[in-house]
Structure 1
Amino acid sequence: MDLDKSMIGISSNPYIAEIDREHVTRFAQAIGDENPLYFDETYANDTAYKGVSVPPTFLVALGSSVELPLKLDFKRMLHGEQEFIYHQPVRIGDRLECTMAVTDVYDRVGKSGTMQFLVLDTEMKKEDGVLAAVARNTIIYRPAQKGGN
């Protein structure tokens, strides 16, 4: 299946991501970030964040099993870019309602021909319905191999 603009707007079912201390701690340790903003409540309370917050790239760890109703060939997919757009701090104890949606599909011509790009945005809202963050993932969708693969 090739990508086309009709896919824009297709979304996943909403799911809940709970931000717990152990997950944040393990993530920060895994990326080697010892910033006390992610561990030390006394320190974090005196910052602009007003509490223990998550590392900026932590959102990538939420929703890795979410499924979109698209039949994509995973062998043709390459990770192109990841972006995190914060509207407010995400903290330990937050419960985020997340929905992933296709927000753009476009083509670019490169040295090896035309490649397609799929942009997926996961909106993450706090329990009060206010948007906390958007995790944007751009996927490069390579041309199908000759012979049907």
Structure 2
Amino acid sequence: MDLDKSMIGIASEPYVAQIDPERVMKFAQAIGDDNPLYSDETYAADTAYQGITVPPTFLISLGSSAKFPLELDFRRMLHGEQEFIYHHPVRMGDTLDCTMKVTDVYDREGKSGTMQFLVLDTEMKKEDGTLAAVARNTIIYRPAPKEVRQL
């Protein structure tokens, strides 16, 4: 399956992500970030965030729950870019309502031919409906391998 502009707007089923303090702490340890903003309430209260928040890249760990209606060939996919757009701090104990959606499809010429790009935005809303963040993932979708004819 190749990508085309008609895919823009296709969305996953909504799913819920719970921000679990233990999972956040393990994530911070795994990336080697011991910033007290993720663990020390007294310290975090005196920051612009006014409380403990998650590491900026933590949201990547929440995307695996999406049931996405596109059947993509994972062998053709490369991770191209990841971006996190925060509208409000994400805090321990938050429950986020998430939906992943195709927001762009485009082509670029590369050394080995035309490469396709798929942009997926995962909107993450707090329980009151406020948009907390968007996790944007750009996937490079490589050309399908040419079939080798056997004699």
Taking structure 2 as the reference length, the TM-score comes to 0.96
What residue number does 1:139 align with?
A: 139
Which letter maps to 1:58? F
Output one character per residue of 1:83-135: Cα deviation in whole Å (capped at 9) or x when no partner.
Answer: 00000100001100000000000000011110000000000000110100000
Q: Verify the 8 A CA contact 2:15 2:65 in the aligned structure 1.
A: no
Aligned pairs for 1:26-105 (under 5 A) are 26-105=26-105
Which moves more between the two structures, 63-72 or 81-90?
Answer: 63-72
Which sections of structure 1, spanning at least 5 residues, go unmatched?
Answer: none
Which sections of structure 2, spanning at least 5 residues, go unmatched?
Answer: none
Two-structure CA RMSD over aligned residues (Å): 0.9
Which letter maps to 1:7? M
1:40 Cα offset (Å): 0.4
What residue number does 1:126 align with?
A: 126
Hey, which bits of structure 1, 4+ residues long, moved more than 6 A? Answer: none
Given the alignment of the two structures, is residue 3 of structure 1 paired with residue 3 of structure 2, yes or no? Answer: yes
What residue number does 2:116 align with?
A: 116
Identity across the alignment (%): 79
1:79 Cα offset (Å): 0.4
Q: Distance in 1 between the 2:31 and 2:71 partners?
A: 32
Taking structure 1 as the reference length, the TM-score comes to 0.97
1:27 Cα offset (Å): 0.3
1:71 Cα offset (Å): 1.3
